[in-house]
Structure 1
Amino acid sequence: MTSLSTPPLFDALSDAENVLISGAGGGFDVYAGLPLALALQDRGATVHLANLSFTPLELIALEAWAAPDLALIRPDTAGSDDYFPERTLARWLAANAANAANGLRAEVYAFPKTGVQPLRAAYQYLVDSLGIDAIVLVDGGTDILMRGDEAGLGTPVEDVTSLAAVAGLDVGVKLVTCLGFGIDAFHGVVHSQVLENLAALDRDGAYLGALSIPSTSREAALYRAAVADAQAATPLRPSIVNGQIAAAVGGEFGDVQFTRRTQGSALFVNPLMAVYFTVGLDALAARCLYLDRIENTLGMRQVASRISTFRDEIATRIPQAFPH
Structure 2
Amino acid sequence: MEYFYMWNAYRIFFYKVQVLCIYLTNVFSSMTSYFILAVSVERSFGVRTPLQLQYTWRAKKVITTMILIAWISCTLCGYHLIEYKHGFTMIMNGTTLYGMPINIATIPSTSKTLLKLIKYWKTAQIIFTIFVPTICISILNIQIILVLRKSEFLLLQQQQQQNSDSTEHPAVRSRSSDHEARNRRDLKVTFTVLAIIGCYIVTHVPSAVPFILEIFEKHSVFMSMYYQPLSNCWTLMGKVANFVLFCLSSVYFRKRLMKILKRRINAIPFLRRRQKKYSGVSSERSIKSQAIKLQKYKNGNDKDSAHRQSSIVTQLE
Q: Give the TM-score normalised by structure 2.
A: 0.21
Higher relative contact order (CA 8 A, sep 6+): 1
Q: What TM-score comes out, normalization by structure 1 length?
A: 0.21
